[in-house]
Amino acid sequence: MTSNFTTFPTQPDLLHLILGAVLFITLVMLMVVARRKSPPNAEASQVQTEVVVPAPAPAPAPAPEFKAATPDAALQLLALLQQNARLIDFFQEDLKGFSDADVGAAARVVHEGGKKTLKDYFRLEPIRSESEESRVTLTAGFNAAEVRLTGNVTGQAPFTGTLIHRGWKAAEVRLPKIAEGHDVSVIAAAEVEL
């Protein structure tokens, strides 16, 4: 069996859908945790003065500080995806004994439930407004956190290339509030039928 890794699939298959879902969920969890930990903006007071002070020599750039991420929001999102899409059940299942049709049917449940979860708890917007496969030019100072350059990257902006993916940004997060004392590590309670 030979594989050609230089072409893109024209239709998504199950493996790519699953990989895309895992990547998307991971990115959303990271964004939620990062947004939750960011401090609120403090209002800057405006004071005018006539004293002219010579500017000091620029200090060396401080080393970036890393914040410890709390898992609460990520675990909450994982619980919502389990509740609505049975995501963990799907990933924990050994799919070797199932037919492609059975796996496809299960993937449809995961897809529909995951889509509902995203719609209910997030407002997502594309980062770029252009159509995919269109030519775009990135000027100097483009936001490297929002646009990732791939391929033969040399020189400095402006860069002109083909938009492969528009990207996604969380414009709003509406996760439910967590009750005091709630154990977020319990993603889905065990069920016992009597």
pLDDT, one tens digit per residue, over 151-183 is: 999 999 999 999 999 999 999 999 999 999 999
What DSSP line would sit under 135-185, residue for residue? EEEEPTT--TTT----SS--S-S-EEEE-----EEEEEE-PPPPPTT--TT
| pLDDT (0 to 100) of residue 143 | 94
Report which of residues 54 and 152 the model is more confident about. Answer: 152
Helix, strand, or coil (residue 132): coil
Sign of the Cα torsion 112, 89, 93, 192 reads negative
117: closest CA among 34, 21, 182?
21
What DSSP line would sit under 46-78, residue for residue? --------PPPPPPPPPPPP-PPPPSHHHHHHH
| pLDDT (0 to 100) of residue 62 | 82
pLDDT band at 87 (very low <50, low <70, confident <90, very high): very high
pLDDT tens digits, one per residue of 56-72: 777 787 888 887 778 89
106: closest CA among 192, 18, 11, 10?
18
pLDDT at residue 5 above 80?
A: no
pLDDT mean across residues, the chain: 83
Kindly report the pTM of this predicted structure: 0.61
pLDDT at residue 45 above 50?
A: no
pLDDT at residue 42 above 50?
A: no
Q: Could you give the maximum distance between any two Cα atoms of the chain, in Å?
A: 80
| Tokens found for residue 145 | 């956190």
Task: Give the lowest-confidence range in 2-11, 24-33, 113-122, 160-169.
Answer: 2-11
The CA dihedral of 13, 14, 20, 21, to the nearest 10 degrees, is 150
pLDDT at residue 108 above 70?
A: yes
Q: What is the average per-residue pLDDT within 101-108? A: 93
pLDDT band at 137 (very low <50, low <70, confident <90, very high): very high
| pLDDT (0 to 100) of residue 101 | 94
Query: What are residue 70's phi and psi, to 5 degrees?
Result: -90, 140
The count of other CB atoms within 10 Å of the CB of residue 90 is 20
pLDDT band at 47 (very low <50, low <70, confident <90, very high): very low
